Copies of this chain bind each other. A is one copy, B any other.
Amino acid sequence: MEKEKIDKKDHILDVAERVFAEHGFDGASTRLISGEAGVNMAMLNYYFGSKEGLLLSIFERRTATFRDLIHVIGKNESISSWQKVVEYIEAYIGRVFNNNCFQKMIHQEMSVRRTGELADKITNMIMLNVNEFRKILHEGIEKGEFKRDIDTDMVVATVFGVKSQLLNAPQICSLMLGYDTQDPQNMEEKLKPRVIDYLKKLLKSYLLIENDNAK
């Protein structure tokens, strides 16, 4: 009764994603990755060509899953802009916290000066998200649903920034909240719903025109 015989390449990608997230690209040696994955070192080059090819494969696998999930929210004409914002927050935070290792890794890669194919792909992927969120915000302004003087770009930076802070500064985050935010159960049951709830209330108070004089 051995371990489930899942695809070995997928297993390597899973492990590498975690090790890259923990040590950074430069800090994660191919020996460490192959050791953690329980495979021979040469298998990394056999499957993925090179260390950078491995990183690229991780990226491709994740983006392929969520590529066409982006535009669904903005397309729904029957809901208000504010509801779109709510759905975007729930979708984005939900997705990001489920792949927190990948997100951590991506954020680290963006933080160091790199050029080339992968750097451009990462930038493009994130800009897809950015532009989708911006479109919702601009639409809400034009419809008179949101205040006219809101800083849409900073709102985007806020959602992305809060996520980065919670994922990429886990020691600080754990000390602040009083529990281990790296623990998958805590992240899923405590941190994720709290972040979603907070971002909704925060943006609601900043974006919406207060017209409920009958409160």
- The contact string, 1 if C-beta is below 8 Å from chain B, for chain A 16-29, is 00000011111100
Q: Which of the segments A33-41, A51-59, A156-164 contacts the partner chain?
A: A156-164
A175 to B125, CA, bound (A): 13
Known: A160-B165, A206-B201. A195 touches B110 (CB 8 A): no
> In the complex, A173 Cα to B160 Cα: how many Å?
11
A171-191 interface code vs B (CB 8 A; 1 in, 0 out): 111011100000000000000
Selected from B25, B169, B197, the residue in CB contact (under 8 A) with A110 is B169
* A110 vs chain B, min Cβ distance (A): 5
We find that the number of chain A residues with CB closer than 8 angstroms to chain B is 49
Residues of B with C-beta under 8 A to A202: 154, 158, 202, 206
Given contacts A154-B198, A157-B165, could you give 7 more A-B pairs where the C-beta distance is less than 8 Å? A22-B113, A24-B24, A107-B169, A119-B171, A123-B171, A130-B172, A151-B197
